[in-house]
């Protein structure tokens, strides 16, 4: 019987594990993949307090996991398929077994949708990014191609353009899907141009991405854009998907996101959520860590009172 079962080993889950295990709670993390979650795919966390210039997201994720383990948190490398609430007992089922505990924190994060074009997987963190706040500064003197035409794509294009980069938005339609005021700002920005009716078909390169194969669906023309003397960055924004499918039927989800109270607890007593799956405005490593901390402290307080 665990005190706290944490589903997800990203920054929210690992921070919760540090706080919970340090408070002498019997804590376990379920993480089938790499410690650090999506953070591990980031080249650098320049805006994360205390991060050094040479730190990668993977470095920080590994250190956080080691810190949690030093306080006694266990890690089970199994994928969770369902969560059940049986009164004061919570049941976490994985592909390999079933585990019981008093409280559950879900911190499975969200994953950016991928286009599935050749070269995309190969060049993630090597020229391809899904987070302008994380990686935009690396290309402030470069040529950046933003793929997409919704709110996220246009907002991030504006963010990168304001850093000084020359930004080209590549959009498969002839008008933005983004809100009008965002579209107008992008079209008026001196550092932003748009390739309408254009689709990304392939990312080229060797060690790093250095070219794009593009297709104009109006003229039926395929053409290649190659890297020049400036850094080339490719930012893909075709939506994100919170990893909460296994919670359907247990929690009421808003577009896949979990609503929580001030202690990060969901509508089901004893089940908490933190990080990118939470229904909120901003999704950064720093606030994911804060939410993991709040959830763990709330659980610790309940257990101390209960015991």
Residues noted as catalytic: 131, 134-135
Q: Find the DSSP H helices in 163-306.
A: 180-188, 285-306
CB 45 within 8 A of CB 51: yes
Residue 32 to residue 27: CA distance in whole angstroms: 16
Question: What is the number of helices (H) and of strands (E) in the chain?
Answer: 6, 19
From the number of C-beta atoms within 10 Å of its C-beta (0-12, 13-18, 19+), residue 211 rates as middle
The one-character DSSP state at 21 is H
Residue 130 to residue 258: CA distance in whole angstroms: 22
The one-character DSSP state at 259 is P
């Amino acid at each position: 019987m665990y005190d706290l079962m944490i589903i997800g080993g990203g920054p929210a889950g690992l921070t919760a594990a540090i706080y919970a295990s340090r408070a002498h709670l019997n804590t376990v993390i379920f993480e089938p993949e790499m410690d650090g979650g999506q953070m591990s795919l980031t080249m650098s966390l320049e805006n994360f307090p205390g991060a050094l210039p040479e730190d990668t997201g993977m470095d920080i994720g590994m250190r956080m996991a080691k810190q949690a383990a030093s306080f006694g948190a266990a890690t089970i490398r199994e994928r969770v398929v369902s969560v059940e609430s049986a009164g004061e007992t919570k049941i976490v089922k994985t592909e390999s077994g079933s585990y019981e505990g008093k409280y559950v924190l879900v911190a499975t994060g969200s994953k950016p949708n991928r286009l599935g074009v050749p070269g995309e997987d190969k060049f993630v963190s090597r020229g391809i990014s899904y987070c302008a706040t994380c990686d935009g500064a690396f290309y402030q003197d470069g040529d950046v191609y933003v793929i997409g035409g919704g709110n996220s794509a246009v907002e991030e294009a504006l963010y990168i353009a304001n850093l000084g980069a020359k930004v080209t938005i590549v959009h498969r339609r002839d008008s933005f899907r983004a809100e009008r005021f965002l579209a107008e700002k992008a079209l008026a920005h001196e550092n932003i141009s748009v390739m309408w009716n254009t689709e990304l078909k392939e990312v080229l390169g060797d060690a790093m991405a250095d070219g794009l194969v593009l297709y104009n669906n109006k003229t039926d023309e395929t053409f290649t854009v190659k890297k020049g003397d400036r850094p080339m960055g490719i930012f893909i924004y075709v939506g994100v998907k919170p990893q909460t499918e296994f919670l359907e039927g247990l929690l009421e989800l808003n577009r896949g996101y979990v609503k929580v109270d001030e202690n990060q607890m969901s509508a089901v007593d004893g089940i908490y959520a933190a990080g990118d799956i939470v229904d909120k405005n901003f999704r950064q490593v720093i606030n994911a860590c804060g939410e993991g901390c709040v959830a763990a402290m709330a659980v610790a307080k309940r257990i101390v009172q209960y015991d």
